[in-house]
Amino acid sequence: MIRNRWLLFPLLLALVLGLSYAVLSLPDQAAGLQKIAADKIEASGVSNPVTAVLLNFRGYDTLLETVVLLVALLGVWSLGGTDLRREIAPGPVLDTLARLLVPVLILVAAYLLWIGAHAPGGAFQAGAVLGAAGVLLLLAGWRPRAALMAWPVRLVIVAGPAVFMAMAALLYGLEGQLLEYPPAKAGTLILVLETVATVSIGATLAALFLGCRPPNKKEHS
């Protein structure tokens, strides 16, 4: 198929035309789920509709997403990771930039986490900024101490899915449905979940960038 481009072009053209026709024949206005979400948003505990959908209405999807992040990291670790990023001493620009930017990035992440309840923001955005801070540190040559890399980092990475699942089980026991928040406490519970998820997502993304498995206490590597 790679060699026969003259067969590929007509097929792709047919695909493009077919998809365009399908897209253009959709109705001009379709409310979708917007009305239902807007009606229930006061009961959800937050006023940002995307956060309400992510953490409350479709909370199960977010739970599975944290598990997907964990599984990807397990995949990278189980392949043996790549060679430890070769340690090069950073130049003065990268060094200074890392020193200046990382505290600011942590603050920005905390702000995004807090503001996610009523403005654009939320756990994933904050976790991504934390992950970027971790990547910047790793690029500037920082490697965490071996004692820190053994079980604390594993604890932080697992904390996201684990706390989410524990909350789901707890709410199942209390309310009879997975992830059904009591409306009075919904805002607080969502904030707790988002905080743990932010730190966990940041650690997982930085670990995905680092690539190699942190050593156990028993291995002296």
Summarize as ranges the residues that interact with another protein (CB under 8 A): 1-2, 5, 8, 12, 15-16, 19-20, 23-24, 26-34, 37-38, 48-54, 57-58, 61-62, 65, 68-69, 72-73, 75-76, 79-83, 85-86, 112, 120-122, 124-125, 128-129, 131-132, 135, 139, 201, 204-205, 208-209, 211
Between 104 and 174, CB nearer to another protein: 104
DSSP structural state of residue 91:
P
DSSP structural state of residue 105:
H
Between 8 and 155, CB nearer to another protein: 8
CB of 24 to another protein, least distance (A): 6
Question: Distance of CA 45 to CAs 127, 170, 184, Å?
Answer: 21, 18, 8
Between 14 and 174, CB nearer to another protein: 14
CB of 173 to another protein, least distance (A): 26
CB of 168 to another protein, least distance (A): 17
Between 68 and 147, CB nearer to another protein: 68
Between 28 and 176, CB nearer to another protein: 28
**Cβ distance 201 to 159 under 8 Å?**
no
Q: Taking phi first (over 0 means left), then psi (-120 to 50 degrees means alpha), and beta for anything else, what does residue 80 get? A: left
Q: Say what the alpha-carbon torsion angle 33, 34, 35, 40 is, to the nearest 10 degrees.
A: 90
Question: Distance of CA 194 to CAs 43, 59, 139, 174, 221, Å?
Answer: 18, 11, 27, 20, 35
